[in-house]
Amino acid sequence: MAQSERILWIETTVKLKELKDYDINPRRINTADFKRLVNDIKQDGYHRRILVSYDNVIIGGHSRKKALLAAGFREHDDIHVLKPNRLLSEEELKRLNIRDNLGFGDWDMDMLANNFDMDDLKEWGMPENIFDESK
């Protein structure tokens, strides 16, 4: 793929209810980690911004959105998000979703296998043995 225009991230505000889940988000969080995330938000506030596409689809931060609601935020509350200065391609959405989540949580292996190219996943930083580790 040819190099596209550089992505510039702009901090803006949106209402929690305006955030839409990304249909093929392969990251999952277990109950203990989710409770920890809720507690962190209650203690430290919301400081790690949710990444969204130009049209408010969550790229990185699905669990943070749910944790914000569990921590007492309301759907009509404005929150700060990072939004790109332009529309993203499907490949960019996938790449950013994977890279934003590499260090956190568990993966839906079927979602990865059925919706992502293994060579792309490796290029984006996913361990080559990710499918071996799930067995």
pLDDT tens per residue across span 69-97 = 999 999 999 999 999 999 999 999 988 98
Residue 109 pLDDT > 80: no
8 Å CB contact between 50 and 19: yes
Higher pLDDT, 110 or 51: 51
Residue 131 pLDDT > 70: no
Work out the average pLDDT over 21-45: 89
Residue 129 pLDDT > 50: yes
8 Å CB contact between 81 and 17: no
| % of the chain surpassing 90 pLDDT | 57
Q: How far is CA 67 from the centre of its chain?
A: 13
